[in-house]
Amino acid sequence: MTAKFVKIIFSAECLYLGERIKKGTFKPSISPQGKRYKQGGVLTGVLPVPYSTITGAFRSLLGEESEIHALGKMTKYKVEYMSIAPYDSALIAAKLPITVEYLSDVEGEVYVKKTDNLPSLQSVESGFAIGGMKSKGFGACKVVSIKEFEPKIIEQEGRFLSRIYYDDEIMGHFGIRRDNIIKEYWGYLFRKTSEFNGYYQKSLFEQSRIRNGYDFLVEVIK
């Protein structure tokens, strides 16, 4: 039986995914300025939308117990910087300004696995929010189109374009098995266990090499 997915094309004015501090600048943990994107021009045009980020966003809309599995990638973006001065309500004053790096004019694609228990995605059509700094106007995503499709399998080695928990069941929804992972790049994604708790799960990151992967998940190595 051929796997089926729902492809959602989205756009966003500005996104801030994750956080780390480097040389006084608050940077998103998913950034083309990161170390892995400076090595031989690898994946310079694509950035991941992790499983944890987009699946969590959809479950917040459709119900935390919804059986939904999604991941994605950003195919177009710009890097910009903004200075802000966080307000401390206890001191009734603004703190020293900080510099924030973020992505603007974003276009991307999200892929949702079709399952027997997949809830209606009607509420997603009006848009969704991902990432941080939502109080500053970041994270609002507009849905451009939604359509069902069947992916093709690329029968050769390719670079993984997203991030996903290293969990056999979850990877299996996207046709990834341990025995077709040729080279791993590891990281950690947050995994919720309740409304207030969770832990960091070992995860497969972009640039990992996979054989026989779905065409929307891998970039062929030439």
Tokens encoding 163 = 């991030």
CA 186 to each of CA 160, 177, 201, 206, 216: distance values in angstroms, whole numbers, following the listed order: 12, 15, 10, 9, 20
Give the chain's radius of gyration (CA, Å): 18
Query: At 92, is the pLDDT very low, low, confident or very high (cuts 50, 70, 90)?
Result: low
The Cβ of residue 190 has, within 10 Å, a number of other Cβ atoms equal to 14
End-to-end CA separation in angstroms for the chain: 30
Please name each of the domains of the chain with its CATH number.
5-220 (3.30.70)
CA 130 to each of CA 90, 96, 143, 145, 157: distance values in angstroms, whole numbers, following the listed order: 28, 27, 13, 18, 31
pLDDT of 96-147, one tens digit each? 567 778 899 999 999 999 998 999 999 999 999 998 888 878 899 999 999 9
pLDDT of 144-194, one tens digit each? 999 999 999 998 999 999 999 999 999 999 999 999 999 999 988 989 887
CA 12 to each of CA 48, 95, 141, 142, 220: distance values in angstroms, whole numbers, following the listed order: 15, 29, 5, 6, 27
